[in-house]
Chains A and B, each alone.
Chain A
Amino acid sequence: MNKTWWKILGSVLVIYTAIAGLLLGVPRLPILNETIRNLYFHVPMWFAMIVLFSISVFYSVKSLSTKSEIDDIKAVESVNTGIIFGLLGLVTGAFWAKYTWGQFWSFDPKQNFAAISVLLYFAYLILRNAIDEEQKRAKISAIYNIFAFPMMVVLLFVLPRLKDSLHPGNGGNPGFNSYDLDSRMRMVFYPACLGWILIGYWVYTIRFRLRSLENKQQHH
Chain B
Amino acid sequence: MQLAKEVKYLIHKEVLLEWRSKYTINGVLLYVVSTIFTCYLSFVSLGDKLTWNALFWIIMLFASINGVSKSFLQETKGQQLYSYVLASPAAVLISKTVYNTLLMLVLTTIALGFYTLVFDSFTPPDLLLYYVAVIMGSISFSTVFTMVSAIASKAGNGGMLMAILSFPIIIPVLILLIKLAKNAVDGLPWENSYDEIGMLLVVNVLTVATSLLLFPYLWRD
**What total of A-B pairs shows CB separation below 8 Å?**
72
* Size of A's binding interface in residues, CB under 8 A: 26
Q: A147-B147, A162-B199 are in contact. Are A130 and B217 (CB under 8 A)?
A: no
Asked if A130 and B168 sit within 8 Å, CB to CB, the answer is: no
The number of chain B residues touching the other chain, given as a range, is 20 to 34
Q: Does B106 contact A (CB under 8 A)?
A: no
Asked if B165 and A127 sit within 8 Å, CB to CB, the answer is: yes
Residues of chain B from 175 to 201 with CB closer than 8 A to chain A in the complex: 175-176, 179, 195-196, 199
Asked if A162 and B168 sit within 8 Å, CB to CB, the answer is: no
How far in angstroms is the closest Cβ of chain B from A72? 13
Asked if A140 and B164 sit within 8 Å, CB to CB, the answer is: no
Contact flags A42-83 to B (C-beta < 8 A → 1, else 0): 000000000000000000000010000000000000000000
A interface: dominant SS? helix
Q: B172 contacts which of A131, A147, A159 (Cβ < 8 Å)? A: A159
How far in angstroms is the closest Cβ of chain A from B58? 16
Would you give 26 A-B contacts (Cβ < 8 Å), ordered by A?
A: A116-B168, A116-B172, A117-B168, A119-B167, A120-B168, A123-B164, A123-B168, A126-B164, A127-B151, A130-B157, A131-B156, A139-B218, A140-B151, A140-B218, A143-B217, A146-B210, A147-B169, A147-B214, A150-B206, A151-B169, A154-B172, A154-B206, A155-B171, A159-B175, A159-B176, A162-B179
B residues whose Cβ falls under 8 Å from a Cβ of A: 147-148, 151, 154-157, 161, 164-165, 167-169, 171-172, 175-176, 179, 195-196, 199, 203, 206-207, 210-211, 214, 217-218
